[in-house]
Structure 1
Amino acid sequence: MDYAAFGDVLVFDTTYRTNAYKKPFVILAGVSNHFMTTIFGCALLPDETMETYTWVLEMLMDAMDGKRPISVVTDGDRAMRQAINRVIPNCRHRLCSWHLEKNASTNVHIPEFTTDFAQLMLKKCKIDEFDNAWAAMVKQYKLENNNWVLDIHLQRDNWAEAYLCGHMFAGMRSTQRVEGMNAYFNIFLNQKVRLYEFVAQYDRALARMRVNEAETESKTENSFPVLTTPLRSLEKHAAELFTRKIFSLFQHEIRKEGKLFVIERVQREDHRTYRFGEYKAPTCTWTVEYFPADITMKCCCLKFESFSIPCCHMIAVMKSEQLMCIPLSYVLQRWTRRGRSKCQQPSLTQVCSTLTQTAQFGILSSCFSEMSYYASHADKDFEEAREIAFQLTSQMKKCWAMRKEGDAEVGDRNIAPKLYGVGDPNVVKTKGNLGGTSSMGKPPKPRRCGYCRSIGHTKRTCKKLASSSQREGSNSDSEPFMNTELDPHKDDIDELPNYPNDPM
């Protein structure tokens, strides 16, 4: 239901790795009508290849009844980009601004360039103005032959605001929402968590998120914001329509409208054109076309197309045209109080076609758990429910055995029943020698003898120590050999095998 209502923008991030198996943990998220992060799903992957990411996106589309997002925000991973182009080629792809700024600092090593690059990346301007500013910046810092600068310029339509303006991204420019979720999941997950615990802890984290969203929902439904602007009718209508957070953003646009003034108003055949200026900024002008027949507007800033709330220039036209409420064509369902109302839960027949054996097991367990609760209150009901359960279990067992016999004709006949479809992968060692290298990627130091410091043996097999012991033993027949500089128990500790962590 969340994806049906808010799945138009998808954030796809794989920077989180915290489990006992050292596997990438992918979070698929979006933005709810309260402007809060909502989790559509997650995936624990074996690797980060294009084939694996393709599988993730295909499973997501299959689980969400084929609905595809109109825009995706990623951290710029090459395999991820290839998977997006293969599965959802028509969506608009945006690269994370935070990762780009970090890469600029790493690849160019000029702090001033990083600052100018970040400002130009988020600058709202025309495409030709952006191209001129980029050429001037590259020339200023003499980066005409820098490979990273040349490569990132070829991808400018995926990160420059001048190229992305007018495409819906729900106010997201980076994957920081998902990375904020990573920090949030740290409360519930750690590197010692096993797979069966991992899923339960993940569900706990989602439950806490839903409690926070329910609190925000309750505040929206049971209180009314304070109206503070002169455009009281428009402000009140917005307060009735939008959630608290979206209303505060719209209220900010009303305040910005106070700086605007009409430069000219031109009457056309079927519409009127307004040109606005801004107080103390005479060079900044905006044009809005207003069509009174169907009460529609189009602003040159394209903020409504990018964020789907009316901009301050549209509000100025509403004031000039004496509109008492926001036109319904500029009220997007995803930002309203009833953002999920049109998204009904799918029927059980639709769900069952794509369910895995594990999910079906969980659904049936929940159904019979509820039945058991009601049947346990009376002896007669208990006996009847138990008899029916025995009969149904016997029937399902026969059906299962018949299917397995049919499958075993081309395979192994010794097939045991399996209640769950997911098993634990191999646990990765987190202590000692990880695959022949240290944790810093350096080769391990060779082991030396504790007596002669040579490589290849220990004190227990040291020939120099043995010969020294024999000489001292021959010199003192009355006293046993004792070297106070050596720890007689240290060899035993050194020779202990490195047992793996107890899986329990």
Structure 2
Amino acid sequence: MDCNKLVEDRTPELEMEFNSEEDAYKFYNNYAFKTDFNVCKDYLNKDKDGVTTSRRYSYCKEGVKRKYEGMLIDYNFFGDVVTFDTTYKINKEYHPLVVFVGFNQLRQIVIFDAALMYDETIDSFKWVFGTFRKVMCGKRPNTILTDQDHAMAAALSVIMPETFHGLYTFHIRRNFMKHLGNHYKKNSDLPYMFGACMYEFEEVEQFNRVWEAMVKKYNLENNKWLFELYQIRDKWFFRHFNRVIDDKRHNELITEYEMRQKLPMVGLRQTPVLVHAAETYSPTVFVAFQNEYDESTAMVILRQQDAGIFVEFAVMRYDGGSERIVVFNRNDLNVHCSCKKYENEGILCGHSLKVFDTVGIKTIPLEYVKRRWTRRARAGDCFDR
């Protein structure tokens, strides 16, 4: 083939032939320059005599490549919990732009990936989730949060069956206005009752009692959306996570941290657990931990029951509130609190800190320090989490 003609045309075609590998490389370099991309030599195949039988060339736009590499690094550090959002429909064809997002050790939003979908069918979602997992080197998130879309749920059950599928409360709140907005008037307490069910109650009995009262008060027994939401209530990702990724809460923590820097750190040097936390956690997470420590100083042990290696503590604020059960293991020094704050947010609750203080543990046990929240969250190999 006339290579000079190829250089002039600069348009690749199927079944093109070249006189040599070097001619092919020059042609694709010229084409890449025209289209504002770079070309690089990829894998090479040779026969037993050492003759090249095939060569693969890869294109990349350098800025896109750098951004992708940054997203991959962020995902490997902070991709344990991912929110999948389909609310962006800004193109003229009204196709959904979907994004995979999470948050870093500073509680700032990070974007892991994005895709433009043609439609929102099960097959399309399978392609999106499958492609996402492939480009992220096969690593799946521990938890993925979505809206209540049935096609999305069906695709996730196939592509990421081991991943916990939760519902992001932002979508639930938005759908609340869509499906129940006409059920309340000015000064109605319906949104407050619904919000309390989403965020305030940790005890099942208390949640069910308020939910049933809300349904009865506003005659919502036949509301299909509300009924289906209740059926999948185990997928609601309650209070702690949603408040962590809420921008307003993040800004409050930043402000609180800056304010505390201007105040005398009374007693900090005499409080080993706070010294340890300040040295370990990122600034915003340290403030959240310090708030829990402050709560622990207002806690009292109501009773203590020994059962071999396990000790059960009943803990409550001195001025009232919910009673929590903390189980302490004497052998491995592990704790488990009925409030489940550590499981949901990744920092110890005031109840557990009260028990640790009671049994003489004055620093944070290493198994309760999540690396994603530390100052060194990005240190070391991002694949070694």
The normalised TM-score by structure 2 is 0.69
Give how far 1:91 is off. 1.9
Give how far 1:226 is off. 6.8
For residues 121 and 128 of structure 2, the distance between their equivalents in structure 1, rounded to whole angstroms, comes to 11
Does the CA-based 8 Å contact 1:229-1:255 persist in structure 2?
Answer: no
Give how far 1:32 is off. 0.9
Aligned to 2:226: 149
Aligned to 1:247: 286
Aligned to 2:274: 235
Amino acid at match of 1:247: F
Amino acid at match of 1:341: A
Does the CA-based 8 Å contact 2:109-2:245 persist in structure 1?
Answer: no
Please state if 1:291 is matched with 2:329: yes
Q: 2:201 aligns with which of 103, 124, 127?
A: 124
For residues 127 and 344 of structure 1, the distance between their equivalents in structure 2, rounded to whole angstroms, comes to 39
Does the CA-based 8 Å contact 1:95-1:174 persist in structure 2?
Answer: no
Q: Higher strand fraction: Structure 1 or Structure 2?
A: 2
Following TM superposition, the consecutive aligned residue runs of length 4 or more in structure 1 with deviations greater than 6 angstroms are: 173-177, 223-226
Give how far 1:255 is off. 1.1
Unaligned segments of structure 2, at least 5 residues: 1-72, 248-253
Q: 1:256 aligns with which of 295, 320, 325?
A: 295
Distance 1:29 1:331, change over 3 A: same
Distance 1:224 1:342, change over 3 A: farther
Query: Does the residue aligned with 1:171 lie in a helix, a strand or coil?
Result: helix
**Which stretch has the larger CA shift, 325-334 or 230-239?**
230-239
For residues 43 and 328 of structure 1, the distance between their equivalents in structure 2, rounded to whole angstroms, comes to 38
Aligned to 2:136: 64
Aligned to 2:339: 301
Distance 1:20 1:117, change over 3 A: closer
Unaligned segments of structure 1, at least 5 residues: 178-215, 347-504
Query: Does the residue aligned with 1:68 lie in a helix, a strand or coil?
Result: coil
For residues 143 and 124 of structure 1, the distance between their equivalents in structure 2, rounded to whole angstroms, comes to 20
1:94-243 correspondence to structure 2 within 5 Å: 94-108=166-180, 109-111=182-184, 112-159=189-236, 161=238, 171-172=241-242, 227-228=265-266, 232-243=271-282
> How much identity, in percent, do the aligned residues show?
30
Q: Deviations over 1:330-371 (max 9, x none)?
A: 11111111212243479xxxxxxxxxxxxxxxxxxxxxxxxx
Amino acid at match of 1:276: V
Amino acid at match of 1:172: N
Amino acid at match of 2:147: D
Amino acid at match of 1:270: I
Give how far 1:243 is off. 0.7
Aligned to 1:276: 315
Query: Does the residue aligned with 2:323 lie in a helix, a strand or coil?
Result: strand
Q: Deviations over 1:16-75 (max 9, x none)?
A: 133466432211111111111111111122222222221111111111121111111113
For residues 277 and 380 of structure 2, the distance between their equivalents in structure 1, rounded to whole angstroms, comes to 20
Aligned to 2:78: 6
Amino acid at match of 2:215: V
For residues 383 and 237 of structure 2, the distance between their equivalents in structure 1, rounded to whole angstroms, comes to 38
For residues 43 and 229 of structure 1, the distance between their equivalents in structure 2, rounded to whole angstroms, comes to 51
Amino acid at match of 2:232: Q
Please state if 1:313 is matched with 2:313: no
Give how far 1:224 is off. 12
Query: Does the residue aligned with 1:254 lie in a helix, a strand or coil?
Result: helix
Report which structure shows greater RCO (CA 8 Å, sep ≥6). 1
Does the CA-based 8 Å contact 1:12-1:28 persist in structure 2?
Answer: yes
Does the CA-based 8 Å contact 1:34-1:246 persist in structure 2?
Answer: yes
For residues 323 and 249 of structure 1, the distance between their equivalents in structure 2, rounded to whole angstroms, comes to 20
Distance 1:82 1:228, change over 3 A: farther
Q: 1:265 aligns with which of 296, 304, 318?
A: 304
For residues 243 and 120 of structure 2, the distance between their equivalents in structure 1, rounded to whole angstroms, comes to 23
Amino acid at match of 2:378: R
For residues 302 and 12 of structure 1, the distance between their equivalents in structure 2, rounded to whole angstroms, comes to 24
Query: Does the residue aligned with 1:38 lie in a helix, a strand or coil?
Result: strand
The normalised TM-score by structure 1 is 0.54
1:32-47 correspondence to structure 2 within 5 Å: 32-47=104-119
Aligned residue pairs total 296
For residues 79 and 225 of structure 1, the distance between their equivalents in structure 2, rounded to whole angstroms, comes to 52
Bigger radius of gyration among the two: 1
Amino acid at match of 1:232: T
Distance 1:3 1:306, change over 3 A: same
Query: Does the residue aligned with 2:327 lie in a helix, a strand or coil?
Result: strand
Query: Does the residue aligned with 2:90 lie in a helix, a strand or coil?
Result: coil
Distance 1:336 1:273, change over 3 A: same
Does the CA-based 8 Å contact 2:244-2:345 persist in structure 1?
Answer: no
Does the CA-based 8 Å contact 1:260-1:316 persist in structure 2?
Answer: yes
Q: 2:101 aligns with which of 26, 29, 37?
A: 29
For residues 18 and 239 of structure 1, the distance between their equivalents in structure 2, rounded to whole angstroms, comes to 43
For residues 337 and 73 of structure 1, the distance between their equivalents in structure 2, rounded to whole angstroms, comes to 26
Does the CA-based 8 Å contact 2:193-2:210 persist in structure 1?
Answer: no
Distance 1:62 1:261, change over 3 A: same
For residues 94 and 244 of structure 2, the distance between their equivalents in structure 1, rounded to whole angstroms, comes to 25
Distance 1:79 1:235, change over 3 A: same
